[in-house]
Chain A
Amino acid sequence: MTDQAYNFAYLDEQTKRMIRRAILKGVAVPGYQVPFASREMPMPYGWGTGGVQVTAACLVPEDRLKVIDQGADDTTNAVSIRKFFQRVAGVAVTEATQEATLIQTRHRIPDTSLSAGQILVYQVPIPEPLRFLEPRESETRKMHELEDYGLMHVKLYEDIARHGQIATSYAYPVKVEDRYVMDPSPIPKFDNPKLSNSPALQLFGAGREQRIYALPPFTHVVSLDFDDHPFVPSKADHACDLCDASDSYLDEVIIDDQGGRMFVCSDTDYCGGRRAAGHVGRLGEEAI
């Protein structure tokens, strides 16, 4: 049931128009961070206020919404955002990646391949990839204008000088269509290859920082690297202990105080789907 005290999808129409115009500019200039007048939402900054505003501006009543937090459908952030939109937009919800028309995500891209017509909305904490290298907005804006991304390569080089390899493992910077360097939000770098040439539309919303950016379907996205230190999408070198998947991103879980641990898929829908199909991992039990 939609709560009739709210406009459809919570935001007022004037706000949605403003956000929608920003999304269209973002789509037209892939990777460029479009400023928008972010509103206060009924949840704190850092809980996905940017993603929620983008989702609210995109939702239609026929949508089937999936919300994930680090790959999981059943964590606090995911559950509360899903309930929020069930209440204020009356949309159907699902946990199945393939059935969803709009997926809001915090820090993961689903392991199940996305398809044409789907929209993936990312929650972004710090949209500016250069921010930790240059704190002044006036300077980073100029760097984007001049395509001056040398500083980012210096940062990756310093990783190599100190650690012998590029130590950046999440929020790994990418270059979009050979123009803008973009922060893909704090997804593990394992997910970076899925950004490029995705059949789904990818939208990024940063509420506190008031930026929206986008990757249209089939946009060319390259992770920054060096000829002699090519980009490697890494993951834990194990198979999932529940579903035995060796191609999914894994979380490490401490299971006792004797140093025991297990690795499980971070994508709960992917893992559950595999277990239902009969795959059993090291610590898994046969599905009944």
Chain B
Amino acid sequence: MTLLALQGGFADAPIASAHAFRAALTALSQPGQILSVTGAAPPAPVSVAAGVLLLTLVDGTTPVHLAGRYDCAALRDWLTFHTGAPLVAPEAASFALGTWADLQPVGRFAQGLPDYPDRSCTLIVEMAALSNTGSRLTGPGIADHARLNLPEVAAFQANRARFPLGFDAFFTAADQIAGLPRSTHVEDF
């Protein structure tokens, strides 16, 4: 472990995580909204937003899967020091971090059980940028419709078809986050 792993956490954890959670709550309860978060300085290649989400939601009780090039020593050390989360295979993960390509196939992540749909994985999908363009979103949390530049449509349609089972996703780019719960209908447009 290098000294670098000890840096980049929340300066004032109770306040920073409270703000970060409100942003995450707004993002997931109003799909399509893009919000800014601050406070974490995770090692490359992790975005600030993904780092903030990890520090806010992950701890020793939530196994995390790091996909693709996110499975690097710097991030493993940083996450272990700051959260104590066990690092596991995709099938056992409560949270998974990576680019959309890294996370494929998404079917291997926990979808929840018919009697406990909450026992599912939350994906943190790193993106180059977030914008309110592209796919058309409707469903709970959306007054009429919203737009978000999703990396793919078919996977999220298949995810919605399994409702109430399925995974939930946060999209992160730089300091921005957006959410897509399993309840959202996605259409290509």
Contacts and interface: CB of A to CB of B under 8 A. Distances in A.
Interface of A: 7-9, 13-14, 16-18, 20-30, 32, 34-35, 57-61, 141-142, 144-145, 177, 179-180, 199, 201, 214-220
Contact of A142 (B25, B62, B115, B142): B115
Contacts of A20: 21, 24-25, 56-57
B145 to A, nearest CB: 11
Contact of B140 (A21, A22, A216): A216
A21 B17 contact: no
A216 B141 CA distance: 5
B140 A218 contact: yes
Nearest to B182: A28
Given A29-B164, A29-B183, A32-B118, A217 B18 contact: no
Given A27-B29, A58-B22, A13 B14 contact: yes
Given A28-B182, A179-B164, A217-B141, A9 B14 contact: yes
Given A27-B25, A28-B182, A58-B22, 17 more contacts: A8-B15, A8-B18, A13-B14, A16-B17, A18-B61, A20-B25, A21-B62, A25-B118, A25-B120, A25-B168, A28-B168, A29-B117, A29-B164, A32-B164, A60-B22, A201-B25, A216-B141
A17 B56 contact: yes
Interface string B1-24: 000000000000111011101101
Contacts of B18: 8-9, 16, 59-61
Contacts of A60: 15, 18-19, 22
A30 B140 contact: yes
B172 to A, nearest CB: 15
Contacts of B17: 13, 16-17
Contact of A214 (B24, B29, B61, B139): B29
B141 A219 contact: yes
A13 B13 contact: yes
A141 B115 contact: yes
B143 interface: yes
A30 B183 contact: yes
5 contacts: A32-B118, A179-B164, A199-B143, A201-B29, A218-B142
Contacts of A57: 21
Contacts of A179: 163-164
Contacts of A177: 139-140, 183
A86 to B, nearest CB: 16
Contacts of B124: none
B181 interface: yes
A217 B182 contact: no
